[in-house]
A = this chain, B = another copy of it.
Amino acid sequence: MTKRIESLKVIDNKPLKKDFFIIELESSEKLPEMKPGQFVQARVDGSKETFLRRPLSLHDVDYTNNRFKILVQVVGKGTESLSRLKTKDSLNLIYPLGNSFSLPEKGARTLLVGGGCGIAPLLYLGRYLKSHSIIPDILLGFRNSDRVLECKDYEAVGNVFLTTEDGSAGEKGFVTNHSLLGKARYDKVYCCGPEMMMKAIAGWCKKNNTDCEVSLENLMGCGIGACLCCVVNTVKGNVCTCTDGPVFNTKELIW
């Protein structure tokens, strides 16, 4: 899979609730093959205060039109600057980067768990699973109803369940508190979100003997395996999140 550096056209930048927004990008060339879990490194041109690129997951891919989407949450200077991109602006990316979520066995009972901006890669993963005839449960956690994103897209690929920390939408509490986890049984769980959440889900999976893949959001210097800044400690020692990950089976991680 060849990586490339390209300035893509911003087709649309749609603000969602609160600090979230979705940027749709178009390449002037044929898109390379891009897998769920992979990410891009976005250059932030509009901000005096950022220096490095910012890693962002593939949210959805439309090969027909050579377009894809990223879903971003404003957490600091870089994402704030990206939120100001307008239709017709361009965004310089290095992509596609990283490994990807693995395909579960046929008929596997599958759960996707996402929190905050960690929900971003799950849509494209859901579509991918669906194309392989797997309809996952999708459990999404948010701070409060102000931040609950429209879930229509997700509902098209699976059965969506919600939690909010304050109970203002869906069940109250963290994703790990959701009643689903008390009832259902899964063969495979995919999870992306804050580290604390991923660790909790990994713990639950371990207890239930469920295979679990997480997508890590480690700080990145380069995104291409050159700086060794993004490491995570695994059973094989320190490996790069950007090339050996961002997706890891939790069995490999020393958490």
**How far is B47's CA from A50's CA once the two chains are assembled, in angstroms?**
11
Interface string of A73-108 (1 = CB under 8 A from B): 000000000000000000000000000000000000
Q: Is A207 an interface residue (CB 8 A)?
A: no
What is the interface of chain A, defined by CB distance below 8 A to chain B?
A: 45-48, 50
A52 shortest CB reach to chain B, Å: 12
**How far is B45's CA from A50's CA once the two chains are assembled, in angstroms?**
13
A195 shortest CB reach to chain B, Å: 30
A64 shortest CB reach to chain B, Å: 33
* Chain B minimum-CB-distance residue to A49: B48
Q: Copy number in this complex?
A: 2
* Chain B minimum-CB-distance residue to A48: B48
Report B-chain residues with C-beta under 8 Å of the C-beta of A45. 48
**How far is B233's CA from A84's CA once the two chains are assembled, in angstroms?**
46
In the complex, 5 of the A-B residue pairs with CB atoms within 8 angstroms, ordered by the A residue number, are: A45-B48, A46-B46, A47-B48, A48-B48, A48-B50
A223 shortest CB reach to chain B, Å: 19
The 5 closest A-B pairs by CB, nearest first: A48-B48, A46-B46, A45-B48, A47-B48, A48-B50
A87 shortest CB reach to chain B, Å: 14
* Chain B minimum-CB-distance residue to A47: B48
Report B-chain residues with C-beta under 8 Å of the C-beta of A47. 48
Report B-chain residues with C-beta under 8 Å of the C-beta of A46. 46
A123 shortest CB reach to chain B, Å: 32
**How far is B53's CA from A48's CA once the two chains are assembled, in angstroms?**
13
A50 shortest CB reach to chain B, Å: 8
**How far is B50's CA from A46's CA once the two chains are assembled, in angstroms?**
12
**How far is B47's CA from A31's CA once the two chains are assembled, in angstroms?**
30
A53 shortest CB reach to chain B, Å: 13
